[in-house]
Structure 1
Amino acid sequence: MTVLTLYGLPTCDSCRKARKALEAAGHKVQFRDVRAQPLSADEWQPLLTEFGDRLVNRQSQTWRNLNDYLKHAEVDALLEAQPAVMKRPVIASDARMTLGWDDEVRAAWDA
Structure 2
Amino acid sequence: MRVYGLKNCDTCRKAMKALPSATLVDVRAEGVPDAVLQDAYDRFGQALLNTRSTTWRGLSEDERAQPELTLLRQHPALMKRPLITLGDKMFLSWSSEVESDLKAAL
Tell me the TM-score normalised to structure 1 length. 0.86
Q: Sequence identity, in percent?
A: 39
The equivalent residue for 1:81 is 74
How far does residue 16 in structure 1 lie from its aligned partner after superposition?
A: 0.5
Alignment of 1:2-41 (within 5 A): 4-23=1-20, 28-41=21-34
Tell me the distance in 1 between the aligned counterparts of 2:98 and 2:92.
7
**Residue type at the aligned position of 2:2:** T
How far does residue 44 in structure 1 lie from its aligned partner after superposition?
A: 1.4
Alignment of 1:39-78 (within 5 A): 39-78=32-71
How far does residue 110 in structure 1 lie from its aligned partner after superposition?
A: 2.8
4+ aligned runs moved over 2 Å, structure 1: 39-43
Bigger helix share: 2
Matched residue count: 104
Structure 2's unaligned 5+ residue stretches are: none
Q: Aligned-residue CA RMSD in angstroms?
A: 1.4
Tell me the TM-score normalised to structure 2 length. 0.90
How far does residue 42 in structure 1 lie from its aligned partner after superposition?
A: 2.7
Structure 1's unaligned 5+ residue stretches are: none
